[in-house]
Amino acid sequence: MRRIAEIVTCARVSPNWATLVPGYLGVANLAYPRTFRTRDGRSLVLENFHDLITAWIIFFRTEYRVEASAKVIVDAGANIGAFSLYAAGRAPAARIIALEPFPSTSSRLRSTIESNGLSSRVVQRAWALTAADGSRWMPFSDLPSQSRNILSDASGDDSAGVTVESVCLGTLFERERIARIDLLKMDIEGAEHEVLLGTPHNILSRIGTLALEYHPNAAKKTLFKGLNDAGFELMRDSFLSPNSGTAEFRQTRSGTVS
């Protein structure tokens, strides 16, 4: 039943729906690269099946909800820009800060922003979001860009990976000169545990809605309790396994950094 609803949404959102649906369901082999388009003129270049999955869950499954009234949105783990593109359409007055540290993926993100005329609204930063400022190491691999994670050691082999700059949420607020984030979307391949449990509550209180993918490298129970202690209320939890899924939280408190 969920797939039926997603297919209906796909047909409503994209003129490419008749090609995208069988490709996503695995009943047809699509040739890549191909361009995914929306009926209101947005476009995203898909280089492989994993890119199609990303576009599908954001645009048709609406895994992350975006309020039209949002003014500041942070896309942590922006990847190729699918969510930033979606959010720009859902919240037309929003400033979007897209964080993507991996160089080749960051280049594709830039192309998505520029080709859709969003350079004045979406700012791109080549930062990894972590609990403390510094640098981290990201490995080269045959994995799709969506699956690369950041490692704690920034002194890895340069022939096997790349060192990237990392920032904490407090630094992000300061550098971007923002008082509040209306929506923080987070898909950072397991680093959400470190970031959210390692950020002071007075900084987390400046986030209105938190929408995240959580990963099984640490316990969901610990993460959710930490967010509850920081004033967040769980609004939605779509779990794939006991410690893997997506969740949405709303902040019940408000505050500023003292």
CATH for 175: 3.40.50.150
Residues 81 and 104 in one domain: yes
The residues, ordered by sequence, that sit 6+ positions from 244 with a Cβ below 8 Å of its Cβ are: 214, 215, 216, 220
Biggest CA–CA distance in the chain, Å, is: 56
> What's the N-to-C CA distance of the chain in angstroms?
48
Residue 204 lies in a domain: yes
Residues 71 and 57 in one domain: no
Domain end point (choices 34, 62, 90): 62
Torsion over CA: 100, 101, 102, 107 (sign): positive
Residue 23 lies in a domain: yes
Residues 13 and 98 in one domain: no
Domain end point (choices 39, 62, 85): 62
Question: What is the rounded CA–CA span in Å between residue 190 and residue 248?
Answer: 16
Residues 57 and 73 in one domain: no
- Tell me the pLDDT band of 227, cut-offs 50, 70 and 90: very high
What is the edge-to-edge ordering of all strands in the sheet holding 232-241? 122-125, 95-99, 72-76, 181-186, 207-214, 244-251, 232-241
Residues 92 and 40 in one domain: no
Segment among 59-68, 134-143, 164-173 with least mean pLDDT: 134-143
Question: What is the rounded CA–CA span in Å between residue 157 and residue 246?
Answer: 33
In DSSP notation, the chain reads -HHHHHHHHHHHH-TTHHHHHHHHHTSSPPPSSEEEE-TTS-EEEE-SHHHHHHHHHHHTS--S---TT--EEEEET-TTSHHHHHHHHH-TT-EEEEE--SHHHHHHHHHHHHHTT-TTTEEEE-EEE-SSSEEEEEE--SS-GGG---BS-S---TTTEEEEEEE-HHHHHHHHT-S-EEEEEE--TTTHHHHHHSS-HHHHTTEEEEEEEE-TTS-HHHHHHHHHHTTEEEEEEEEEETTEEEEEEEES------
Domain end point (choices 42, 62, 82): 62
Residues 93 and 219 in one domain: yes
- Tell me the pLDDT band of 152, cut-offs 50, 70 and 90: low
Confidence at residue 155, expressed as pLDDT on a 0 to 100 scale: 59
Residues 91 and 170 in one domain: yes
Residue 150 lies in a domain: yes
Mean pLDDT of 229-241: 95
Residues 36 and 125 in one domain: no
Question: Could you read off the pLDDT of 118-145 as tens digits, one per residue?
Answer: 999 999 999 999 999 999 888 876 655 5
- Tell me the pLDDT band of 154, cut-offs 50, 70 and 90: low
- Structural domain boundaries enclosing 38: 1-62
| Proportion of the chain above pLDDT 70, given as a percent | 90
Mean pLDDT of 107-114: 97
More confident residue, 43 or 239: 43
In this structure, what token pair is assigned to residue 21?
């649906």
Residue 256 lies in a domain: no
Residues 3 and 76 in one domain: no
Residue 258 lies in a domain: no
Residue 103 lies in a domain: yes
* Number of domains comprising the chain: 2
Residues 76 and 44 in one domain: no
Residue 128 lies in a domain: yes
Q: Is the pLDDT of residue 150 over 90?
A: no
Residue 257 lies in a domain: no
Residues 73 and 193 in one domain: yes
Residues 72 and 58 in one domain: no
CB-based burial, 213-251: b 16+ in 10 Å, e otherwise: bbbeeeebeebbebbeebbbeeeeeeeeeebebbbbbeb
